[in-house]
Amino acid sequence: MQQKLLDIQKVTVPALGLGTYKLTGKEGAREIQRALLLGYRHIDTAEMYGNEGDVGNAIKASGINRNDIFITTKVWPSNFSKNKFIPCVEESLRKLQIDTIDLLLLHWPADSDTNKLAADLLNECVHKKYAKLVGVSNFSLAQLKLVQKMAPVCCNQVEYSPYNNNKQLLQYMQQQGLMLTAYSPLARGEVLKEAIIKKLAEKHQRSGAQIVLRWLLEQNNVAAIPKAGSEKHSLQNLQVFDFELSENDMQQVFALAR
């Protein structure tokens, strides 16, 4: 299967990943393992999802070389302190059964001073080789600019879908060579009910989800991490690299912004 690959700070990142929020326990691990076997090579998890152990088990059971999979996890703000941050990352490494996290994110912003402290702790994780790349999630443009002064952040994972596309943030990130990872890219399924998505799906003989994911992946520096629990959805979401949207199609999807 073809994938779009992003080059972020000289690291190759598959642009389409699997979101794993709510994929927990043995069943969650089975679904993640199935996605890996279907071809996913980018997995998004977080300490807060309570499933890093399940992700680790799924990777191991898949038999796929760990180095062929890009793994993102996140630290929750309650652990943004000198004595909690590093042990929390060590726990993530232990649960994921890996030595280095490909991308470690601050899950949500805190106040400015705490964000600066957490950015410094991200540096320590890079220094200890606990993380290859570091970044943030849910940070505003101003908050992102502040932490950029403190650490080599390469990513901001934000809610980004046809309903919710933050042009100003994306333009800045594109100029800086940063990756915008779109979470809830399908607006949790809601956007698939839109008439224009249905019309474009018919035009391209694709599903609505494929239209929305293609719209995201045609934007520079954008990665997307849809969550799919079923095999049908998992597979469908991967099959978005063999067709293109026209400029006019793209603009019609942009027009859904609220």
Q: Which residues are catalytic?
A: 49
Cβ-based nearer residue to ligand NAP, 137 or 143: 137
In angstroms, the CA 75 to CA 215 distance is 29
Q: How many CB atoms lie within 10 A of CB 192?
A: 16
Of the candidates 155, 110, 163, the residue with the CA atom closest to the CA atom of residue 134: 155
* Residue 41 phi, psi dihedral angles, 5° rounding: -130, 20
- Cβ 161 to ligand NAP shortest distance, Å: 7
Among 25, 152, 177, 189, binds ligand NAP (CB under 6 A): 189
Give me the residue whose beta carbon is nearest to ligand NAP. Answer: 19
Among 4, 198, 204, 233, binds ligand NAP (CB under 6 A): 233
Which span (13-21, 56-64, 122-130, 215-223) binds ligand NAP, by CB under 6 A? 13-21
How far is the first Cα of the chain from the last one, in angstroms, to the nearest whole number?
Answer: 34
Tell me if 237 contacts ligand NAP by CB under 6 A. yes
Cβ-based nearer residue to ligand NAP, 14 or 63: 14
Between 40 and 69, how does the x/- string for binding to ligand NAP read (CB under 6 A)?
----x-------------------------
Tell me if 19 contacts ligand NAP by CB under 6 A. yes
Cβ-based nearer residue to ligand NAP, 27 or 129: 27
Which residues fall within 8 angstroms of residue 256, CB to CB, at 6 or more apart? 162, 163, 191, 194, 196, 197
* Residue 220 phi, psi dihedral angles, 5° rounding: -60, 140
Tell me if 138 contacts ligand NAP by CB under 6 A. yes
In angstroms, the CA 63 to CA 120 distance is 35
Of the candidates 194, 187, 170, the residue with the CA atom closest to the CA atom of residue 227: 187
Q: Which positions lie near ligand NAP, rule CB under 6 A?
A: 19-21, 44, 137-138, 157, 183-189, 192, 207, 209, 225-230, 233, 236-237
